[in-house]
Structure 1
């Protein structure tokens, strides 16, 4: 298969810079997810890997070969898009077969490849149907099979699950990850959905405004965020970020008071994840703004007067709206960020 390197990639559109001096290494067989809000540059980055966009500066290197001057059709990559892009007048069999015909694969070899790809996505019984007779999830699986059948050295997937409902997205995530492990193909996956990123990726690249904010495993990104953007983007609900003042070993903000390292002084932002908060502590006082039972957990929103704090409470927790609430923080799970939003790590 193939590794991918991006070396100081820049993409400009007139005076607007969509991707800013991006360097990244993607290992052979790795499942890498580009994650970020709309307009952050993640799809542009993937399109430059595919050859659908030319970088303004820098080099795209696939399998140790600079591919800037190589056409998209000759880069041996397969793409799966948000839209299924299936031919409605063809059967699923013919849709999967299409890239084999385009690449001149011998007819005698095509049938086995088509059926193997179809079985991998559990469409073996649907090959004679046309796309209009399939559900959205089945059509997306057909698009995956069409990519798989080519046996490319790189898979590129641009928000392939965003048209599906929540239940189908969950099942398709499992299928995509299992298929990638079977095929052992280097995969770049673009999404704005942090749940997809956390569940699929070997590593996540979080982007914002054309720049990389952090690269790491899902555990690294979640447990060790580099800045307030990453901390506030990852997690459901995301990390609570509370602006306040540190002095003499105490962090204070309206309705909030907790111990902090003695080395901290001046304006800082405290970060605490909802699952690291407990009802009944002494670090935060406020009122119950919202109580949302979900079966396995109750989401509690606490209003301090100037901000709302999200808490994951026990499944059987209940409180009347506007009733007084006190919240505790796990002292081992506090994060602190400076005035620029960067993580403060050296607190000795």
Structure 2
């Protein structure tokens, strides 16, 4: 398939930076996800890989060949967009067939390739229908089949599931990952949805303001965040970040006191702890607050406590219930505490 290297990639429009100093090596057959908020540079980076945008500086390299001056149509990549981009006057069969016609694939191979692609996305029974007769999920699968039928070296997917409801998104995530593993095609996927990133990726590239914040496997990103941006962006609910001071191994903030931290750092520190690493404990001295919200979800209860002006999220037992404004105490798992420099946001090791 294809190995992709991004070497010192920059993109700017006049004085406006879109992407800054991106360096990344995407392995052959890897599924890599660019994750970040709107405007962070993830789609621009993918468009430069595709050839739809030219880098201001740096090189796009595929299998050892610099692609900067190679037209998009000659890069052997297939794109799947947020919008399905299907031709409404054509049947699904003809929509899937369209790339084969454009690339001059012998007509005798069309039917076999189309039916194989349709089978992979479970659309065999819908090939004679037009896009208007299909659901959103079925149309997205048709767009995916149109990309598959080309047998490209690289898949590029730009938020392809954003228009689907939650249940369909979950189903399509499973399908996309299964298809990528079966076809063994290098895949670059862009999303702002951290659940998609965590469930799909071999590695995640988190971006903010055009720069890479961290690269790692889903486990590495979740368990070892490099800074407060990554810590707050990954997790549902995200990590609690509490600004305070640290002196002689004791962290203090309004309503919070954590002793016995094994660190030589001191001064203005942000303490991070994930909701699942917090537990309601009347005997705890770590956090004391008032109940701000209780949200039963069936398998657990989300508890929100207010300590001073800060809201703290806790994943409590499914049976937990409490009245609003009731006093409550929470214990932190000290082995799962994270410390960050408040000024820079960088992780303190």
Interval containing the TM-score (normalised by the shorter chain): over 0.9
Separation of aligned partners in 1, 2:265 and 2:330: 23
- The aligned counterpart of 2:137 is 137
SS in 1 for 2:320: coil
Contact 1:92 1:129 in 2 (8 A): yes
Aligned pairs (5 A) from 1:134-173: 134-173=134-173
Q: Which moved more, 1:268-277 or 1:255-264?
A: 255-264
Q: CA deviation at 1:261?
A: 2.2
Contact 1:48 1:55 in 2 (8 A): yes
Which sections of structure 1, spanning at least 5 residues, go unmatched? none
Q: Once the two structures are superposed, what CA deviation does each residue of 1:195-220 show, in whole Å capped at 9, x if it has no partner? A: 00000000000000000000000000
- The aligned counterpart of 2:179 is 179
- The aligned counterpart of 1:344 is 348
- The aligned counterpart of 1:325 is 328
Name segments (4+ residues, structure 1) moved above 3 Å: none
Separation of aligned partners in 1, 2:287 and 2:173: 38
Separation of aligned partners in 1, 2:254 and 2:301: 25
- The aligned counterpart of 1:268 is 269
Q: Once the two structures are superposed, what CA deviation does each residue of 1:61-92 show, in whole Å capped at 9, x if it has no partner? A: 11111110000000000000000000000000
- The aligned counterpart of 1:288 is 291
SS in 2 for 1:221: helix
Q: Once the two structures are superposed, what CA deviation does each residue of 1:198-248 show, in whole Å capped at 9, x if it has no partner? A: 000000000000000000000000000000000000000000000001112
Q: Kindly tell me the number of residue pairs found equivalent between the two proteins.
A: 345
Q: TM-score normalised to the size of structure 2?
A: 0.98
Contact 1:225 1:231 in 2 (8 A): yes
Q: Once the two structures are superposed, what CA deviation does each residue of 1:82-104 show, in whole Å capped at 9, x if it has no partner? A: 00000000000000000000000
Give the RMSD, CA atoms, in angstroms: 0.6
Separation of aligned partners in 2, 1:168 and 1:14: 41
Aligned pairs (5 A) from 1:239-258: 239-258=239-258
- The aligned counterpart of 1:115 is 115
- The aligned counterpart of 1:25 is 25
Structure 1 residue 302 corresponds to structure 2 residue 305: yes
Q: Once the two structures are superposed, what CA deviation does each residue of 1:90-130 show, in whole Å capped at 9, x if it has no partner? A: 00000000000000000001100000000000000000000
Q: Judging changes above 3 Å, is the alpha-carbon distance between structure 1 residues 262 and 141 closer, same or farther for their aligned structure 2 residues?
A: closer
Separation of aligned partners in 2, 1:79 and 1:120: 17
Q: CA deviation at 1:305?
A: 1.8
Q: CA deviation at 1:262?
A: 4.5
Contact 1:247 1:262 in 2 (8 A): no
Q: TM-score normalised to the size of structure 1?
A: 0.99
Q: CA deviation at 1:264?
A: 2.1
- The aligned counterpart of 2:206 is 206
Q: Judging changes above 3 Å, is the alpha-carbon distance between structure 1 residues 292 and 172 closer, same or farther for their aligned structure 2 residues?
A: same
SS in 1 for 2:125: coil
Q: CA deviation at 1:272?
A: 0.1
- The aligned counterpart of 1:126 is 126
Q: CA deviation at 1:282?
A: 2.4
Contact 1:198 1:218 in 2 (8 A): yes
Separation of aligned partners in 2, 1:287 and 1:23: 46
Contact 1:6 1:59 in 2 (8 A): yes
- The aligned counterpart of 1:14 is 14
Separation of aligned partners in 1, 2:57 and 2:263: 46
